[in-house]
Structure 1
Amino acid sequence: MAKYVLSLDGGGVRGLATSVYLFELEKRLKKPLSSKFDLVVGTSTGGIIALVISVLEIEGPKLLEIYSEANLKKIFSKSFSSFFRTKYSGENKMEVLHDYFGTMKMSDADLPCSILAHNLDTRFPTIFSERAHPELFVADVAAATSAAPTYFPAVEIESNWYVDGAVSTNNPALIAFSEGKKLFPGEEIKVFSVGTGFNNNFVEGSKTKYWGSLSWLRGGIIPMLLESNLEHQLSQELIGQNYFRVDSNLNEVASKIDIKTMSNLELMKEMGLKWWNKFEGPSLEFLDES
């Protein structure tokens, strides 16, 4: 019997669309996601969702609460004006994470999970899991995987410093496939990948000729790097028919992982519902639930 791996992209508050889609999927399955999937893998906001599913076994409605306006306003407050500091302190984000995870450790996971963060000391991604890191606090791992550069400070865990897992890979589908192969040797691995939407923002090449670092930041270099389709293309080629992807163009939904997205929360909920309406049939067929 095939083993199903849930792979969740990064994307800041756009994870709300992911959560709405997963909520609808769970309703249709009539059982918790943790009962359908054999492993969950996530990076950045997808890493937080993965931990909630794995450690807390929270069902749909509670999953949506993470992206409540109250939580997001708290996380994206204490803004700094200095060019030489991160935009937000990270303290409020940690408070919200502690509200959910308390002093739980990775060993408390009921569903195997693999969470990506980028190690600044080794310059390689680190994959946190209940298997390799049972004594780590879940809140610390959640803070590390979502420590987006320029927005939140790096997080120290066991004398190493970590930033957002999306710095290494924003779509962790290939890592999900690899982790599944290691955890379930000899089994067929199916990767169910959920994105956070992508932009088709056009940058006119000739205008970038004399751009410096500040101009590239203004021009959206970070979202541009995070939304590369390379990972998706490679996953299609290497995993083949055992790879399924839920994602779409953001269109009118703002892409910035910022407090400015507050007015777009309803639009992101709409996007999650549109994903469900569009992908319901193929999703259930891939999961052998049709």
Structure 2
Amino acid sequence: MRDEKRTHDNLLCLDGGGVKGLVIIQLLIAIEKASGVATKDLFDWVAGTSTGGILALAILHSKSMVYMRGVYFRMKDEVFRGSRPYESGPLEEFLKREFGEHTKMTDIKKPKVMLTGTLSDRQPAELHLFRNYEAPECAREPRCSQNINLKPPTQPSEQLVWRAARSSGAAPTYFRPSGRYLDGGLLANNPTLDAMTEIHEYNQDMIRKGQGSKVKKLSIVVSLGTGRSPQVPVTCVDVFRPSNPWELAKTVFGAKELGKMVVDCCTDPDGRAVDRARAWCEMVGIQYFRLNPQLGTDIMLDEVSDTVLVNALWETEVYIHEHREQFQKLVQLLLSP
């Protein structure tokens, strides 16, 4: 196996974004085509949020990206029917069909995969990682004093794959929560920094257990987005106590815009999230690649129009062509021993 010959580790991170996961698929097809190697054999770690989590599991289960592109075009028409929030049944049946109804996370060991989810049965909510390996024992202090009885998360060896994917992709207002889990995108729509933190904690745990010889240095981080929406000007948000009906209308509108702004800021996979990941990688000598094409229109997570989605794939192909030198450099590094 190619990964056994490597002297370093490679990490692949996949953003959330609903049906826009097609953009990630197109980027992965380009990487596989240029390298001649399946994504599964290029990376030692794969992290994904929501739709990125589904694709991380697809990589783990050796599904080709060309196949997944067709799956996504079929899936959107099955899952996004009626009005929001959508029925969970079609999504769950799709996940069971693709990954098996009884498949456990630890059934396939390589590459190591982590999916983000949001534990919403506590305040403040916490990020949870669905793993196909045992969680590292952390040396850090617990976040809060444990005076309440909270049910522990399911162990990886007992965690059903389809349920992990469903939990990572439980986007509020689009789908009902999956038990106590909400969409991982609420806390880590771009999972890069959380994945790098997890790898560091995993390696430190290995060293503490006397298995430092098995630790490999993280050398390459590849972060794939679901396309950047165009930036648009908005009216300054102003929320205040109204003194007349006209001001009440303005306050209601302002509160709505403020709510949207807060959600957008929390789930933004670009901007400072990318800046921090790039800076961290540069500080510790890791090669960092962020690939995320600019889209001409703002595409919703539940877009079903073939025309809109095919146009996004075309914009992705144009992006790949314009950044072909960056892709070539990336592939050369990924293929190096």
Smaller-chain TM-score bracket: 0.7 to 0.9
Give distance in 2, aligned partners of 1:38 and 1:205: 45
Question: How far off is 1:131 after superposition?
Answer: 1.3
Do the aligned residues in 2 keep the contact of 1:6 with 1:41 (CA within 8 Å)? yes
TM-score (norm 2): 0.75
Tell me if 1:59 matches 2:64: yes
Select the residue among 303, 327, 334 that pairs with 1:280: 327
Query: Does the CA-based 8 Å contact 1:254-1:261 persist in structure 2?
Result: no
Q: Residues 191-214 of structure 1: CA distance to partner in whole angstroms, max 9, x if unpaired?
A: 111111122433434255433554
Is the contact between residue 42 and residue 335 of structure 2 (CA under 8 Å) also seen in structure 1? no
1:187 equivalent to 2:232? Answer no
Residue 242 of structure 1 is matched in structure 2 by 287
Distance in 2 between residues matched to 1:200 and 1:78, nearest whole Å: 27
**For residues 225 and 255 of structure 1, do their structure 2 counterparts lie closer, same or farther at Cα, with a shift above 3 Å needed?**
farther
- Counterpart in 1 of 2:79? 75
Q: Which amino acid in structure 2 is aligned with residue 150 of structure 1?
A: T
Counterpart contact for 1:176–1:191, Cα < 8 Å:
no
Deviations 1:166-220 (A, max 9, x none): 1011111112212333445553212111111122433434255433554456x67
Matches of 2:263 and 2:81 in 1, distance apart? 21
- Bigger CA radius of gyration: 2
Structure-1-length-normalised TM-score: 0.86
Pairing 1:205-244 to 2, within 5 Å after superposition: 205-206=235-236, 208-209=238-239, 210=251, 211-216=253-258, 222-227=263-268, 228-240=270-282, 241-244=286-289
1:30 and 2:36 aligned: yes
Match of 2:210 in 1: none
Corresponding residue of 1:84: none
AA aligned opposite 1:187: K
SS in 2 for 1:153: coil
The structure 1 residue matched to 2:87, chosen from 70, 86, 89, is 89
Match status 1:151 vs 2:174: yes
Shift of 1:149: 0.8
Count of paired positions: 276
**Counterpart-to-counterpart distance in 1, 2:278 and 2:224:** 14
Q: CA deviation at 1:114?
A: 0.6
| Structure 1 position 128 matched with structure 2 position 133 | no
Identity %: 25
Residues 229 and 298, structure 2, Cα contact 8 Å, conserved in 1 = no
**Partner-residue secondary structure (3-state), 1:155:** coil
Q: CA RMSD in A?
A: 2.3
